[in-house]
């Protein structure tokens, strides 16, 4: 059993999948008694209930009242309030802006999500392709350039969905600087619009990460400190027009 | 925390007031807040009414997505499952995301007994763990510690000499200390804010990025989820991802929310285990009034508005779930009669908690209901109730004519871990005559 499903963090390729016959813990083996007992207790506790779903009143707003440029304006404003930086740029300007920002952030080597288009990739700094890089290797890289799945204006949130443009999760987590490109047509107004837009990704089993500003803590005397374990700097490149 | 420690009381008052103001500001800007609360309550009520069906659906969906589901009747069973999984991977340590559920089952201690070290990676939980302490707030577990105490703990336990007490410097020290742990860990352990029956998606809502680290980097992920955390549909997230961050940290959205469904090829853990935990929850479910306590999404808004919590702090509740929600949840989870029977009496029934609860739990109603269930209050509280029912009685107590009011009550469970404050020796009328107000 020790060798099954075991992998080293230095060799992500060797990650084993859980085997269906993994001993001692699947349903039908060790915990089947517990399963039957818990379900039995639930049925005993709820036996007076109809097992039919109750109607949930959804009288809340499912669409944002904002439309057009007001949506991207709101997004830019809300991201900035998290002390992330927002850069509103034209479509051809991504690569040059990344170089400028990389210099400001003292980033010399950055890893690039595999689906990042050619014209976003700048010359003048070292770009590293993600060939299943070990986390310890990512830890030695200064930054990451990615796109995203969508963004939410009301909350200033970007959502990464594990596709080639967003990159796998570790890519946008381990390096200390994250430059994320959002195009204006990816920005939705409200949280319900985002959840509707992500249904397909969830159904397909893709991992989703909601990012609202850089990581933060208020654990010491409730004083907010930006930058704990995730990237300490977040630059959002908002492409309009 | 002790009621008599004015510094700690000031810290706590400043802290709860700060969060309260932030919460009020971001709630006020949501025009449909009340409609969201109504929906949130209905989703939870619906889920509790057909919990068995939803859990089976969740189990199927997680299994289809390559995860494994385990069931645990109680803490001992859950800890055994997790311990076996960790030992089965020959791991001697695990990295942990802040999780009330794993605190509830005392997982760290159980792993320790098997020679496995659990490393808390949330900054406050790390502080609590390093100082061999106990969390005092759901959201900010080290709210009772100030910066110089934290610096001293880091110096002593992590060997980090020469640190200042600047929060930024302390945070940076924690980042460097934990980065190595994240990179080498072979097993991550988390709780869960939600489990979606429809899609098998499990979610963790957090701020620091330690949650992303623990759920992404180690090759094996074990998530412990109370059975009441199941939500029927993907769509339900549109309600809770609005209610939770605004009620909890007072932000429009928390910095990071991770949602994963089983395992994904070449992205994150190759092995995912979901442990579904009862540990008293079905007992709560069996009480048709009391079960509303299971709707709680652990935002901690009720703690921050509670006049009792603000004065006594989290430790006085003797449970990982303090404050108003703890007063209705803890006694039910542990069973009535039990060692938390006096908690429903720890309230003035002012109702502030019900007003802020994002899922509209009528906490005062549950407190009254549970008071009738636990059958009479503690002797010390009964005595206080008698003495405070009229001026003459209270004056008699002040003048030392009521036995027990100054000396305490031997049979009282309430006063075992708490003080019964003696009434002032001077009565109001005496004070008025002396000072003329």
Residue A72: exposure state from Cβ atoms within 10 A (0-12, 13-18, ≥19): buried
B206 φ, ψ to 5°?
A: -155, 180
C-alpha pair distances (Å), A59 with each of A28, B35, B40, B356: 43, 6, 11, 19
Average pLDDT value for chain B: 91
What's the confidence (pLDDT) of residue B18?
A: 87
Contact list in A for residue B168 (CB cut-off 8 A) is: 225
Among A43-57, B29-43, B382-396, the range of highest mean pLDDT: B29-43
On chain A, the residues whose CB falls within 8 A of the CB of B264 are: 162, 205-207
Give the list of residues 6+ apart from residue A133 with CB closer than 8 angstroms, or none: A111, A141
Contacts of A135 in chain B (CB under 8 A): 182-183, 217
Inspect the interface and report whether the beta carbons of A210 and B256 lie closer than 8 Å: yes
Residue A217 lies in a domain: yes
Q: Pick from A54, A60, A134 the residue to mutate for testing the B interface (most B CBs within 10 Å).
A: A60
Has residue A54 been placed in a domain? no
Interface contact A56-B43, CB threshold 8 A: yes
Radius of gyration of chain B from its Cα atoms, rounded to whole angstroms:
23
CA dist B72 to A27, A32, B87, B203, B302, Å?
11, 10, 18, 20, 29
Q: Which residues of A touch B253 (CB under 8 A)?
A: 152, 155-157, 191, 210, 212
Find residue B273's DSSP bridge partners.
B68, B222
* pLDDT level of residue B327 (50, 70, 90 thresholds): very high
Cα A75–A79–A80 angle (5° rounding)? 115
Nearest CB to B255 within list A26, A41, A216: A216
Which of A95-101's residues contact partners 24+ apart within 8 Å by CB, and which partners? A95/A119, A95/A120, A95/A121, A95/A122, A95/A123, A96/A122, A97/A237, A98/A122, A98/A125, A98/A145, A98/A179, A98/A237, A99/A123, A99/A124, A99/A125, A101/A179, A101/A235
How far is Cα A178 from Cα B106, in angstroms, rounded to an integer? 36
Give the side-chain half-sphere CA count within 13 A for A178.
30
- Per-10-residue mean pLDDT for chain A, 241 residues long? 35 36 42 94 88 89 94 97 94 97 96 97 94 94 98 98 97 97 98 98 97 87 83 96 85
Give the pLDDT score at B40.
Answer: 98
Q: For the beta carbon of residue B351, count every other beta carbon within 10 angstroms.
A: 14
Contacts of B229 in chain A (CB under 8 A): none
**Touching check for B181 and chain A: CB below 8 Å?**
no
Contact A5 B89 (CB under 8 A): yes
Instruction: Pull the structure tokens for residue A23.
Output: 């001993």
Per-residue model confidence as pLDDT tens digits over B212-221:
999 999 999 9
- How far, CA to CA in Å, does A37 sit from each of B57, B73, B97, B277? 17, 7, 29, 12
pLDDT digits (tens, 9 = 90+) for B148-166: 889 999 999 988 888 899 9
**A157-160 and A208-211 strand pairing:** antiparallel
> Does B250 lie at the interface with A, CB-CB under 8 angstroms?
no
Do B260 and A214 meet the contact criterion of CB atoms below 8 Å apart?
A: no
- A146 belongs to a structural domain: yes
B72 contact A CB<8A: yes
Residue A47, pLDDT score: 86
CA B95 – CA B122 distance, rounded (Å): 10
Q: What residues 135-154 of chain B have any CB closer than 8 A to a CB of chain A? A: 140-143, 146-147, 150
Confidence check: pLDDT of B262 > 70? yes
Q: How many domains does chain A have?
A: 1
Q: Which H or E run includes A150?
A: strand A150-152
Say whether pTM exceeds 0.90: no
Distance CA A75, CA B56 (A): 39
Q: What's the confidence (pLDDT) of residue B10?
A: 77
Give the model's pLDDT for residue A227: 82
Q: Is residue A166 part of a domain?
A: yes
Instruction: Tell me the domain boundaries of chain B.
Output: 49-277, 385-435
In chain B, the residue whose alpha carbon lies closest to the alpha carbon of A62 is: B238
Parent domain of A170? 69-239
Q: Does the CB of B230 have a partner CB in chain A at under 8 Å?
A: no
Model pLDDT, residue A30: 55
Alpha helices in B29-166 (DSSP H): 33-49, 51-64, 75-88, 100-104, 107-113, 123-130, 147-158
Hey, is B273 helix, strand or coil? strand
- Structure confidence at residue B435 (pLDDT): 92
Q: What is the ipTM of this complex?
A: 0.88
Residues A205, B253: C-beta atoms closer than 8 Å: no
Tokens representing A4 are 């099954």
Measured distance CA(A172)–CA(A127) in Å, rounded: 15
What tokens does B181 get? 């742990």
Nearest beta carbon to residue B81 from set A25, A48, A221: A25
Does A97 map to a domain? yes
Which of B270, B285, B358 has the most A C-beta neighbours within 10 Å, making it the best mutation to test the interface with A?
Answer: B270
pLDDT at B158: 87
pLDDT of B246 higher than 50:
yes
pLDDT of residue A27: 42
Q: Which two tokens stand for residue A13?
A: 């390729």
d(CA B387, CA B397): 7
- Of B167, B191, B298, B307, the residue nearest B243 (C-alpha): B298
- Inter-CA distances, A176 with A214, B96, B167, B350, B357, Å: 10, 21, 19, 47, 37
Superfamily classification of domain B49-277: NagB/RpiA/CoA transferase-like (3.40.50.10420)
The verdict on residue A211 lying in a domain is yes
Residue B205: the pLDDT is 97
B15 — phi, psi (to 5°)?
A: -65, -50
CB-CB under 8 Å, B127 with A208: no
DSSP, collapsed to helix, strand or coil, labels residue A113 as coil
| Phi (first) and psi of residue B51, to 5 degrees | -60, -40
DSSP, residue by residue, B362-429:
-HHHHHHHHHHHHTS--HHHHHHHHHTTSHHHHHHHHTT-STTTTT--TT-SGGGSS--PPPPSS-HH
A79-93, B153-167, B332-346, B410-424: segment of lowest average pLDDT? B410-424
Report CB contact under 8 Å: B52, A196: no
For residue B405, the model assigns a pLDDT of 74
Of A49, A56, A192, the CB nearest to B42: A56
Kindly report, residue by residue over B47-61, the tens digit of the pLDDT: 999 999 999 999 999
**Residue A161 is part of a domain; what is its CATH number?**
3.40.50.10420
Structure confidence at residue A115 (pLDDT): 97
Q: Which of A134, A148, A163 minimizes the C-alpha distance to A237?
A: A148
- Distance between CA atoms of B15 and B140, rounded to whole angstroms? 10
Contacts A162 to B, Cβ<8 Å: 264, 267
Peptide bond into B273 cis (omega under 30): no
Within an 8 Å CB–CB cutoff, is residue B11 touching chain A? yes
The first and second tokens of residue B245, run together, are 């961050």
Q: Is B357 left (phi over 0), alpha (psi -120 to 50) or beta?
A: beta
- pLDDT of B50 reads 95
Q: Is B69 on the interface with A (CB under 8 A)?
A: yes
Hey, how many other C-beta atoms are within 10 angstroms of the C-beta on B201? 28
Residue A153 located in a structural domain: yes
Chain A residues touching B249 at Cβ < 8 A:
218
Nearest to A98 by CA among A72, A120, A83: A120
pLDDT at B186 over 70: yes
Instruction: Summarize the confidence of residues B78-88 as an average pLDDT.
Output: 98
Asked if residue A64 belongs to a domain, the reply is no
B255·A215 Cβ contact <8 A: yes
Report the residue of chain B nearest A231, measured CA to CA. Answer: B209
Residues of A in contact with B285 (CB under 8 A): 41-42, 45-46
- Whole-number pLDDT of residue B2: 53
Instruction: Nearest by CB to A9, from B59, B141, B183: name it.
Output: B183
- Among A48, A137, A154, A228, which Cα is nearest to B126's? A228
């Amino acid at each position: 059993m020790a060798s099954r499903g075991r992998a080293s963090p230095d060799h992500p390729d060797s990650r084993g999948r859980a085997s269906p016959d993994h001993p001692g813990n699947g349903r039908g083996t060790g915990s089947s008694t517990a399963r039957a007992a818990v379900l039995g207790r639930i049925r005993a506790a709820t036996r007076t209930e109809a097992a039919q779903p109750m109607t949930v009143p959804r009288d809340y707003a499912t669409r944002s009242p904002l439309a057009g440029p007001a949506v991207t304006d709101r997004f830019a404003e809300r991201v900035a309030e998290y002390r992330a930086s927002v850069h509103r740029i034209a479509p051809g300007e991504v690569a040059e802006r990344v170089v400028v920002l990389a210099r400001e952030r003292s980033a010399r080597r950055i890893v690039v999500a595999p689906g990042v288009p050619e014209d976003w990739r700048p010359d003048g700094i070292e770009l590293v392709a993600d060939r299943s890089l070990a986390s310890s290797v990512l830890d030695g890289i200064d930054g990451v350039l990615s796109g995203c799945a969508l963004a939410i204006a009301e909350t200033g949130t970007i959502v990464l969905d594990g596709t080639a443009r967003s990159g796998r999760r570790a890519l946008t987590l381990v390096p200390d600087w994250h430059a994320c490109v959002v195009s204006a047509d990816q920005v939705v107004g409200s949280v319900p619009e985002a959840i509707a837009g992500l249904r397909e990704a969830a159904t397909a089993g893709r991992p989703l990460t909601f990012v609202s500003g850089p990581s933060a803590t208020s654990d010491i005397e409730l004083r907010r400190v930006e930058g704990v374990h995730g990237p300490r700097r977040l630059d959002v490149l908002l492409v309009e027009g | 925390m002790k009621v008599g420690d004015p510094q700690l009381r000031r810290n706590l008052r400043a802290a709860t007031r700060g969060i309260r103001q932030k919460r009020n500001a971001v709630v006020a800007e949501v025009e449909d807040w009340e409609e969201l609360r109504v929906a949130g309550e209905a989703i939870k009520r619906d889920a509790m009414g057909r919990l068995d069906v939803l859990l089976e659906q969740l189990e199927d969906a997680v299994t289809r997505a390559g995860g494994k589901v385990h069931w645990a009747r109680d803490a001992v069973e859950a800890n055994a499952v997790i311990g076996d999984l960790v030992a089965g991977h020959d791991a001697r340590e695990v990295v942990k995301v802040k999780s009330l559920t794993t605190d509830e089952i005392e997982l760290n201690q159980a792993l320790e007994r098997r020679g496995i070290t659990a490393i808390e990676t949330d900054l406050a939980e790390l502080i609590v763990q390093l100082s061999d302490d106990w969390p005092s707030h759901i959201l900010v577990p080290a709210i009772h510690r100030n910066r110089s105490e934290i610096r001293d703990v880091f110096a002593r336990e992590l060997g980090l000499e020469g640190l200042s007490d600047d929060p930024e410097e302390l945070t940076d020290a924690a980042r460097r200390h934990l980065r190595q742990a994240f990179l080498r860990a072979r097993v991550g352990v988390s709780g869960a804010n939600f489990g979606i029956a429809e899609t098998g998606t499990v979610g963790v809502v957090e701020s620091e990025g330690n949650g992303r680290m623990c759920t992404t980097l180690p090759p094996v992920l074990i998530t412990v989820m109370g059975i009441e955390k199941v939500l029927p549909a993907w769509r339900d997230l549109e309600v809770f991802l609005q209610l939770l961050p605004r009620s909890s940290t007072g932000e429009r959205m928390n910095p990071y929310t991770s949602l994963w469904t089983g395992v994904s090829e070449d992205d994150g853990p190759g092995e995912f285990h979901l442990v579904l935990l009862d540990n008293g929850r079905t007992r709560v479910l069996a009480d048709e009034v009391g079960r509303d306590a299971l709707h709680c999404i652990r935002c901690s808004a009720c703690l921050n508005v509670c006049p009792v919590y603000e004065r006594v702090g989290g430790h006085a509740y003797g449970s990982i779930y303090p404050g108003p929600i703890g007063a209705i949840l803890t006694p039910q989870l542990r069973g009535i009669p039990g060692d938390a029977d006096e908690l429903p009496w720890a309230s003035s029934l002012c109702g502030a908690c019900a007003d802020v609860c994002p899922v509209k739990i009528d906490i005062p109603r549950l407190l009254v209901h549970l008071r009738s269930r636990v059958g009479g209050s503690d002797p010390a509280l009964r005595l206080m109730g008698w003495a405070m029912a009229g001026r003459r009685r209270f004056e008699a107590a002040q003048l030392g004519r009521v036995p027990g009011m100054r000396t305490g009550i031997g049979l009282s469970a309430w006063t075992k871990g708490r003080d019964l404050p003696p009434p002032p020796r001077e009565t109001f009328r005496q004070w008025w005559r002396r000072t003329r107000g």
